[in-house]
């Protein structure tokens, strides 16, 4: 099977953000995406961004245009959120984002009436119906198809960093799970989801797809749901490992980290250097540790099995790559990672709110709603950093 890889500008950025719709008073999820999407699709038809439905009718997804910078892509997302609020505010619908809803139950949720979603549920049954998960996807343009799998394999070393920074699903169906990112372990139950296979080049990927299509596992490359995957249609590498981010500045910071890492490794390939990698069993263990412990995880950072706290290794990486962030014009967004490292990721904030409220998870939902609505916009956040 021949799979063309589209032409894409090097290190360009695209973002996708899955957002929950909730009742403003109770915090319960509401199945009202089909009610608001027609008007949104009409009013935003000429915009760079898109607003679309997802698997569940309690969710909308916003997608940026192709940005030369992280800031440009995030501006699209901010504009999309503003457009959504024109429809949701008059209806008493609130927006929030995290890897999971603290207390929602799968059997109360509606499935979007599309053939591909019905086929997914029919095949995956209980696990598919339990996919009450929300995430972000970061696309970064790659100009040469021969770079794709060396880049994916090197980026796999940093999956625990990205997962820990974004971890925001400590609760599941009303229970405290003990995991920073329960979403990470739920999502990998779907066929073709989870960690990428350690393929070496594009021809091996074409062979993999040929096997999967020939045996009826999937219809095409869009059904590859790896934590990092090629997106042939767009000419990008797509990082899908992250829980849904609870605020726009956090989304921008993680996007900047992904963009900088891809450019860093791409430059090493240009210099003829072999990119670092670690055995797949280390990659798998790191994923579990980050899901369990979040930013408190101790991870495996090289093929020799050297271990380090994920916070420490991330700070070291930030120091090493700061100059690339400046060149890519995402230095201020990149510095935003410090805020998460010092103030805690969303999972930690949710746990603090729950403890202060004697375990009342409705208070956690209201906290997430407030963060999404009243938290600083990216522009305000960056203005504060420059003072």
Is a pLDDT exceeding 90 seen at residue 378?
no
Is a pLDDT exceeding 50 seen at residue 190?
yes
Q: Are strands 225-226 and 193-194 parallel, antiparallel or unpaired?
A: parallel
* pLDDT for the residue 130: 87
Residues 200-217: what's their mean pLDDT?
96
Contact (CB, 8 A) for 14 and 236 = yes
Residues 217-242: what's their mean pLDDT?
96
- Residue 2 within a domain: no
- Residue 154 within a domain: yes
* pLDDT for the residue 383: 53
Residues 51-65: what's their mean pLDDT?
96
Say how far apart CA 297 and CA 59 lie, in whole Å: 30
* pLDDT for the residue 128: 86
* Percentage of the chain exceeding pLDDT 90: 88
Residues 370-382: what's their mean pLDDT?
64
- Residue 109 within a domain: yes
Contact (CB, 8 A) for 196 and 239 = no
Residues 63-86: what's their mean pLDDT?
96
Residues 155-184: what's their mean pLDDT?
98
How far is CA 143 from each of CA 8, 147, 270, rounded to the nearest angstrom? 6, 8, 12
- Residue 51 within a domain: yes
What CATH number is given to the structural domain containing 141?
3.30.590.20
* pLDDT for the residue 183: 97
Is a pLDDT exceeding 60 seen at residue 245?
yes
- Residue 155 within a domain: yes
* pLDDT for the residue 368: 97
Residues 180-184: what's their mean pLDDT?
98
Mean of the per-residue pLDDT values for the chain? 94
* pLDDT for the residue 1: 82
Say how far apart CA 111 and CA 54 lie, in whole Å: 9
pLDDT classification of 317: cutoffs 50, 70, 90: very high
Lowest-confidence segment of 221-225, 367-371, 372-376 by average pLDDT: 372-376
pTM for the whole structure: 0.95
If phi > 0 it is left, if psi is from -120 to 50 it is alpha, else beta; for residue 174 that is left
Q: φ and ψ at 357, to 5 degrees?
A: -100, 20
pLDDT classification of 115: cutoffs 50, 70, 90: confident
Torsion of Cα atoms, 211 then 217 then 220 then 221, to 10°: -80
Residues 286-307: what's their mean pLDDT?
98
Residues 244-272: what's their mean pLDDT?
97
Q: How many domains, in total, are found in the chain?
A: 1
Half-sphere exposure in the Cβ direction for 106 (13 Å, CA): 13
Residue 80's domain spans which residues?
13-385
Is a pLDDT exceeding 60 seen at residue 66?
yes
* pLDDT for the residue 170: 98
- Residue 4 within a domain: no
Angle of the 280-293 helix axis to the 159-166 helix axis, nearest 10: 10
Place of tokens 């599309």: 114
- Residue 107 within a domain: yes
- Residue 5 within a domain: no
pLDDT classification of 385: cutoffs 50, 70, 90: very low
List the structure tokens of 185.
């372990």
Lowest-confidence segment of 13-22, 125-134, 162-171, 358-367 by average pLDDT: 125-134
Is a pLDDT exceeding 80 seen at residue 11?
yes
List the structure tokens of 70.
């992280």
Closest CA to 67 of 107, 23, 148, 9: 9
Degrees to nearest 5, angle at CA 278 with 320 and 295: 60
Say how far apart CA 98 and CA 75 lie, in whole Å: 20
Q: Which residue has the higher pLDDT, 382 or 76?
A: 76
DSSP 245: P
Contact (CB, 8 A) for 3 and 206 = yes
């Amino acid at each position: 099977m021949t799979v063309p890889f589209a032409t894409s500008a090097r290190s360009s950025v695209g973002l996708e953000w899955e957002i929950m719709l909730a009742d403003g008073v109770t915090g319960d999820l509401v199945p009202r995406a089909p009610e608001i999407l027609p008007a949104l699709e009409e009013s935003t038809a000429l915009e760079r961004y898109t607003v679309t439905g997802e698997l569940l009718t309690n969710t909308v997804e916003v997608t940026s245009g192709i940005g030369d910078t992280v800031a440009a892509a995030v501006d699209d997302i901010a504009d999309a959120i503003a457009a959504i609020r024109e429809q949701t505010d008059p209806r008493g619908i609130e927006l929030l984002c995290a890897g999971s809803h603290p207390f929602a139950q799968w059997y109360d949720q509606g499935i979007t009436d599309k053939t591909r979603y019905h086929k997914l549920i029919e095949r995956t049954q209980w696990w598919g119906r339990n996919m009450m998960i929300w995430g972000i996807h970061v696309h970064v343009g790659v100009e040469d198809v021969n770079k794709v799998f060396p880049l994916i394999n090197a980026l796999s070393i940093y999956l625990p960093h990205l997962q820990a920074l974004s971890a925001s699903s400590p609760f599941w169906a009303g229970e405290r799970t003990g995991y920073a990112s329960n979403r990470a372990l739920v999502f990998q139950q779907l066929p073709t989801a989870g960690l990428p296979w350690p393929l070496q080049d594009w021809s091996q990927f074409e062979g993999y797809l040929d096997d999967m299509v020939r045996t009826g596992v999937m219809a095409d490359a869009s059904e590859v749901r790896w934590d990092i995957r090629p997106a042939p249609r767009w000419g990008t590498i797509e990082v899908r490992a992250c829980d849904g981010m609870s605020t726009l500045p956090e989304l921008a910071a993680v996007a900047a980290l992904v963009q900088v890492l891809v450019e860093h490794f791409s430059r090493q390939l240009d210099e003829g250097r072999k990119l670092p990698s670690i055995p797949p069993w280390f990659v798998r263990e790191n994923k579990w540790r980050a899901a369990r412990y979040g930013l408190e995880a101790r991870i495996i950072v090289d093929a020799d099995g050297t271990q380090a706290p994920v916070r420490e290794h991330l700070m070291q990486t930030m120091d090493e790559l700061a100059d690339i962030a400046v060149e890519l014009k995402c230095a201020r967004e990149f510095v935003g990672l410090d805020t998460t490292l010092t103030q805690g990721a969303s999972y930690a904030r949710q746990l603090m709110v729950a403890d202060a409220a004697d375990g009342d998870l409705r208070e956690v939902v209201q906290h997430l709603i407030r963060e999404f609505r009243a938290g600083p916009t990216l522009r305000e956040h960056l203005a504060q950093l420059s003072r």
